[in-house]
Chain A
Amino acid sequence: MISFKHVSKSYTGTEKAVNDVNFEVEQGEIVIFLGPSGCGKTTLLRMVNRLETITEGSILINDQDIGELNEIELRRKIGYVIQSNGLFPNMNIEENVTIVPDLLGWDKKKKHNRYKELMQLIGLDPMEYRKRFPNELSGGQQQRIGVIRALAADPPVMLMDEPFGALDPLIREKIQDEFLQIQREVKKTILFVSHDIDEAIKMADKIVLMRDGEIMQYGTPSDILIHPKNEYVSQFIGRDRAIKHLSLRTIAQLQEEIGLVDIDQSIVDSKQVNVHENLKDTLAMLLNQEADQVIVHDDNDEVQGAITIDRVQRYLHLEMRQKPAQAREKEKVIE
């Protein structure tokens, strides 16, 4: 668990880059620091491994104040991934991946085994790449190597500073998926800086939305999309927040809440969709008018029913109006 307690950062003569930040991160969560450039998100991230000094307040990892730890040892226990060029060009891939184990004094065999393990994690042939250098790899491959380098000494905490920001959109999505897959296995506590709202919605368990060094809202992506706390937040996440929210929900969830419609057997022109498809893509498909009817089936290819724009709209109404209203009612009763 990581706690930020009244954390502030000021450079001499300027206003605060980070101003009285308070929040807690649970173990195994991905928390994304989101905001425009200059909002202090990177500074906040870099304070965790003390690449930036903390002016006021403290950051605790598992109740241990990081200010009291030796900074070199602290950094070796925290994985660190940066946007681009973070690999050392003078070292080959194996040396790059095993740099932290090497600094920690692991023996050769242990390092090599760890290298092989990590390369398999991202589906690259360890032997083919070990003697190659970063400049011989594509941008996407370099970034994946950067990620496994951070994982090498199995640190409980990872810091990632716009790790996928320099990649083109197609590769970025692929690597995001791959990373989520890895995270499901390794369950690290991850602090992640991004300026991309879609990336944050996709990757984050929680989002820290920042402006001018202050937290505007801290919550789950769904929470922020449904209840933006203030004008700034709702502006930042955009007018299409309902549509964005649909990307967090699947047809299966809709089916559970309000059910699907019956299939009209007389319609010939129909398309199939899996029940685990997210609602944003489903809606896009419906809007594209690709067929007269969209039939939902489950993983065993059993037909569940049909989905329509009207269903999606009903579901949104439930999620964004009825449920919040019910929640408010409940709060009143408790009061």
Chain B
Amino acid sequence: MTEARPDQTVLEFEHVYLVLDDKPVLRDVSFRLVRAETKVILGASSSGKSVLLKTALGLFRPDSGRVAVFGRDITGLREEELYPIRQRIGMVFQEGALFDSMTVYGNVAYVFQEDRALPAEEEEERVRRALRFVGLEEAIEKLPSELSGGMRRRVAIARAFVGQPALMLYDSPTAGLDPLTAQSIITLIVKLGDLEDVSGLVVTHRLQDAGVIADYFYDPESEGLLPAHSNGRDYDTKTSVLVLREGQVVFDGARDEMFRARDAYIRRFIG
């Protein structure tokens, strides 16, 4: 796991417990995410991965424990007090969660409709830049219903980072996508982390996603991913892995360490 000074901590969970519908969903979850780090959260279905992301965003309030974002304890904050913090976080929901009554432009520009109003030209420029980043500028006037699953996920990524967040949360960004589209989404995640220096929490149940994020970096010249450790290159991808089992952290560390772990659940998970 990346060692860092406390002032570089972007997100911190300390002994977080959360019960939903009388069922414990998070149990004594503790971890730390530092600046520019990407942490891949692995786990089977219903292991609490999505709930963990929503707790980081303040959409769920822990029953006990502490969640700190950008050094501020958000556990006891009221909804209105959370909005300025959420404006520094980008979240990509499972299935995208695009507003289906709005065009792609409306979805991506939504963040500027609230307190962060910009002049019209600047707003359009920011939206177009975000859509260019995900390769969807031509779809700007389309409705979400006219887009494929992969395109919707890419628009969701553009919507999440158009406000230039310091932390990105991805909830199963490749779930239900074909391998090629899934690969393009993971490339975008790596690109965003490498080019924009954004920290990220990536929830997935696909081990290969963790492999690509940990072993590859984005090369702006070739506009693609290159292996981090080959041809004498040793690029630090600043990636760590956290494994959840029924709401409990069973592993938190580097991906290579995970392969050496002896825990039966982890061994079963990595096959």
Is this pair of chains taken from one and the same complex?
A: no
Q: Which residues of A contact B (CB under 8 A)?
A: none
Q: Which residues of B contact A (CB under 8 A)?
A: none
